[in-house]
Chain A
Amino acid sequence: MPYYKFKKNEIFHNTIQAHPAVKFDINDHKVFYNNLNIQSGAFVNNVTQTPVGALSLYELNIDRPSTSLIYPFITKEGNFEALQGVSKVDYETAYQYGDVIVGSYPLSASLTRERFIANHGNLNPTGSHVLALKNTLNYYTPLSNHYAFSSSLGDKKIQELSLLYVPSIFYGSTIKKGTVDLKFYISGTLVGRLQDKYYNGELIQTDGIPEAQTNGSGSVAGVILYTEGIIVLTGSWDLTVNSYDFGDVTRKADWICFGAGAHDGNTDVTPSASFGMEFEGTNYIQTLTMFAHAPKDNLNYTTNHTYINYDSYQAKKPITGSKQYSENSEIELHNTVSSSFYDYDEKFKHQTFINKIGIYDEKKNLIAVANLATPIKKTGGRDFTFKLKLDI
C-alpha cells in the first residue's frame, strides 16, 4: 500500500457559515420553537422533559421515568469545582470535603421576555438588567443612534421598554443581520411587523393595520443586539384601537407589549394576542479539505490476496527456511479486465479498484478512513483526485 504525503496546496482549512432558521411563536403564555409541540412517550408525557419552546442542552433523559434519570455529580475537593445552581455560600457551608454534589438534567433554555416600567431605576432585579446593557448598547452606536443608551431619541434608564432574551443555543455565534422579523397578531390579524431591513439593528415597522401604520410606519420600535441575542423594544405608539390584557398591563397594543407571556411570569395574556419572531442564526463550522491524488501509472497494484492468481500462487509458494523467506517473483496476477465478447479473455492490464482512502499521521497511525460510494476503476492511463472533507 503506497503512501503519499499531502503537499502544501493539497490541504485547506475553511470555515462554512451556516444559517439555521429559527422561529418562535408565542401565544397564551406559551412559547413554541420551530413549530414543535410536546412529544409524548411511553413513560412521560413530554419526552424531552423540557418546557415547550425550550431546547435541552445535552438531550439526555429522553422519555425516562423520574426514578431513572441521568444526573451529574461531582465530589467536593480543593479545586472549587461545583455544578450549576450551587451557590458560593452553599459550596462553602453546606458541603464538606468529600461530599457529593448532585445536579440534575435536563438543562434547558428558551426565549424570555422582561418588561420594565417607566422610571424603572437601577434596583435589582429589574432596572439593573437594563443598566447592564449600557456599555454594550453604546458600543453599537456607530451602527445606529437608536442604540445609544441615552440620547435625544430616549433614555433607556427611565423609559418604558421590554427586553427579549434569545439564548445563544438557538442562533450560534450571532443572529444574521437583515433576517429579523417580528410579527404582532391580534385575533389572527397582523397588526404590526418589525424588520431590520437596513441591516443595522434598527427594528423598523414595515407593515400593519391602518391604525399601526398611521402611528408608526417606518419608525424604529427598538434595536437588536445581534451577537448578544437581546432585543430592546421601546416603540410605544398604539398599534390597535382597542385595549387588550397583556398580563401585567391592559392597554392598547404597542411594541413594548410584544412577546407578552414569553416566560415573563404573565399567565393571563389575552389568548387573541400572539407573536411571531423569525430570524436566522449563524454557525461557523471549521472544515478540513484534503485533495488526494491518484497519479497516472501509480496505484495499479493491490496487496489484496484476491489480486493474485490462485493457481500460480500454489505452484510458486514462498521459499522459507531458518535463514530466509523469499517470495517468488513470477507469481501471476489475476486479470480483472473484463471482455465485451463472449468466451474471450482480454489481455492483461494493470487495473485496480479504489474503494477507500486512509489518512495517516506523521507516525503512520491510521487516523481516518474515507470510503467511496462505489469503487473507482484505476488503470495506468487514468489519474484521479479525491476530495476529502472533514468537519472539525
Chain B
Amino acid sequence: MANSFKTILPEDVATTRTLLHEAIPITGTIVSGTYTNAARTAGANIKTFTHGMYEAVYDYPYLSSSANHIFDITAGYSPNSSLSGSDHVQNAKKINIYNQMAQVLVGYDTGSNIQEFDLDGNLGGGAKFKECVFVNFARLLTKDEIKKDSFRLKVFTSATFMAPPTGLGGLKTIGDYGAQTTYLTNSPSGEYGLLYTSSAAPKGAIIGHLYYQAGIAVITASMFSGAFGDPNGPSVTRALAAKDAAGATGTGAGTAGGGGQIVEQLTGSTITQLANGLRVTINDLDFNNTTELNSTIYFCRANNTEFNYSSNSTYLSSSQIRVKGNNPLANPVSYITTVGLYSPDNELLAVAKLSEPLKKSPTNELTLRVRLDY
C-alpha cells in the first residue's frame, strides 16, 4: 500500500502504436508437391470437405497437431457472368461463393444489389471481375493485417498441359506494388490494394485485389491462359485438360479471358478441382503480416521532495530510519521497487516492478516510464 499518491496529469500520459511484422514465405512445394500425390492434387496437408465449397491448405499433414492452417482456396463467378448456367457443375455454389465474397468485400449498392469486384476499384463503372479465385489467408498468419506492398505471388499462368511440374509456363510475379501509398478504402472490409502483374511502370495488368485486414486475395480467372485445372481430376476434367494439350482452344473461348482452359474448368469442374488447379500453378508466395502493439505510457515523476520515505515496516528500527545509519542529520532515503497505478477511487489497477531498486533522496529526481501494452 502506497503511503503517497500523486495524480497523473494529461501531460504525463502518452499513447503509441508500434507495428510488429513477420515475414511469411510459402513455397510452392508446401502448397503442392511435398505432401501430395504424384499429380499434386490430393495430399495429407490438403483438407477437402463434402460440401465442396472450398479446400484448406496446411503447412504440414493436418492430422498432426503441429500443422498450421495457411489458407483456403475457393472459386466462383457472378450470376451476371456469361459462364453462369444451370447445367454447369456446382453452378449455384460458385455463384454463392462469389456473392458471399462480394457482399463482404465490395458491399451493396444503393439498390441493395451486391456489387461485383471492380477492376480498378472505382465502383462507378468500368470492367468487373466476374470470375474469380479466392485465397483466404488464415488469421494465424495475417495477424492484424497484411503489410501493404509486401504481397508477392509467383504463379504459372500459361501451362501447355497439366502434368506438373512439367508443362507449366508463363511465370509471373503478381503483387500489390506501390500499395503503401495507393491503397483503396471503399470496401466495407477495410483497405485493399490492386494486384498487378509487374512492378515496372506501367505496372502491368490489374489482375486482382488484396484485402489487407480481411486477409483475402481475389484473383481474376482471366489471368490464366492455356491449360489449367486439376491434373488428376475426374475423366471429364482430364479430357478438358487434354484439349489444350492437343492445341484446342476450348469451347468457352473469349468469355472469361480470351480463351483457354480456365473457361472450361470454371464451368465443368468442381470448386475443389479448381482449387487444385490453382495450387499446382503456385510457385512461391511471400508476404509480411502486421501486429499492432498499442501502448499507453505513463511518466511517473518523482520530484526531489517526493517519495523519500517509506511506510514499509522494515524501514524503521527503534523509531529511526534504518537506511540513514543512525545519523539524524542525513537526508531521508528510500528505495523505489514498485510503481502502482491507481484509479480515481484509489483502487490499485496495475503494478510495475523495477528490475532493481532505485535510490531516491531529496538530492535527485526520477521519471519512471511505465508502459502498458494492450
Chain A interface (Cβ < 8 Å from any Cβ of B): 39, 41-43, 47-48, 59-60, 62-65, 68-75, 77, 79, 81
Contacts and interface: CB of A to CB of B under 8 A. Distances in A.
A41 to B, nearest CB: 7
21 contacts: A47-B64, A47-B66, A48-B66, A62-B67, A63-B59, A63-B60, A63-B66, A64-B30, A64-B59, A65-B27, A68-B26, A70-B22, A70-B25, A72-B22, A72-B23, A73-B21, A74-B18, A75-B19, A77-B18, A79-B18, A81-B293
A71 B289 CA distance: 11
B22 A71 contact: yes
Contacts of A77: 18
B66 A79 contact: no
A43 B24 contact: no
Where chain B touches its partner, the secondary structure class is: strand
Given A42-B34, A70-B23, A74-B18, A60 B68 contact: yes
B20 A72 contact: yes
Interface string B1-35: 00000000000000010111111111100100011
B295 interface: yes
Given A48-B66, A81-B18, A62 B60 contact: yes
Contacts of B67: 62
B18 A59 contact: no
Contact of B23 (A65, A71, A81): A71
Contacts of B26: 68
A74 B20 contact: yes
A59 B20 CA distance: 18
A47 B19 CA distance: 29
Given A47-B66, A59-B66, A73-B288, 11 more contacts: A43-B34, A47-B60, A60-B68, A62-B59, A64-B59, A70-B22, A71-B23, A72-B21, A72-B22, A72-B23, A81-B293
A116 to B, nearest CB: 22
A389 to B, nearest CB: 22
B68 A69 contact: no
Given A39-B66, A62-B60, A63-B59, A68 B27 contact: yes
Interface of B: 16, 18-27, 30, 34-35, 59-60, 64, 66-68, 288, 293, 295
B119 to A, nearest CB: 32
Contact of B24 (A48, A70, A81): A70
Contacts of B295: 79
A47 B34 CA distance: 14
A73 B22 CA distance: 6
Contacts of A42: 34-35
B26, B60, B67 interface centre (most CB from chain A within 10 Å): B60
Contacts of B22: 70-73
A48 B68 CA distance: 11
User: 6 tightest A-B contacts by CB?
Assistant: A68-B25, A81-B18, A62-B60, A42-B34, A72-B22, A62-B66
Contacts of A75: 19
Nearest to B17: A79
Contacts of A71: 22-23
Contacts of A74: 18-21
A68 B59 CA distance: 12
B66 A69 contact: no
Nearest to A73: B21
Nearest to B369: A80
Nearest to B293: A81
Contacts of B35: 42
A71 B23 CA distance: 5
A268 B260 CA distance: 66
A68 B67 CA distance: 16
B219 to A, nearest CB: 22
Nearest to A102: B23
A194 B45 CA distance: 44
Contacts of A63: 59-60, 66
A62 B21 contact: no
Contacts of B293: 81
Contacts of A39: 64, 66
Nearest to B59: A62
A71 to B, nearest CB: 5
A42, A47, A63, A77 pick with most chain B CB within 10 angstroms: A63
A48 B20 CA distance: 23
A62 B19 contact: no
Contacts of B68: 59-60, 62
Nearest to A105: B22
Contacts of A48: 66
Nearest to A78: B16
B60 to A, nearest CB: 5
A64 B141 CA distance: 15
Contacts of B20: 72, 74, 81
A77 B24 CA distance: 23
Contacts of A81: 18, 20, 293
A143 B221 CA distance: 70
Contacts of A68: 25-27
B55 to A, nearest CB: 19
A71 B25 CA distance: 9
Nearest to A83: B20
Contacts of A43: 34
B18 A41 contact: no
Contacts of B24: 70
A72 B24 CA distance: 9
B372 to A, nearest CB: 13
A59 B295 CA distance: 26
B300 to A, nearest CB: 16
Q: Which of B59, B293, B295 has the most CB of A within 10 A?
A: B59
Nearest to A47: B66
Nearest to A74: B20
Nearest to B24: A70
B104 to A, nearest CB: 13
B60 A41 contact: yes
A39 B18 CA distance: 36
A188 to B, nearest CB: 31
Contacts of A64: 30, 59
Contacts of B25: 68-70
Contacts of A60: 68
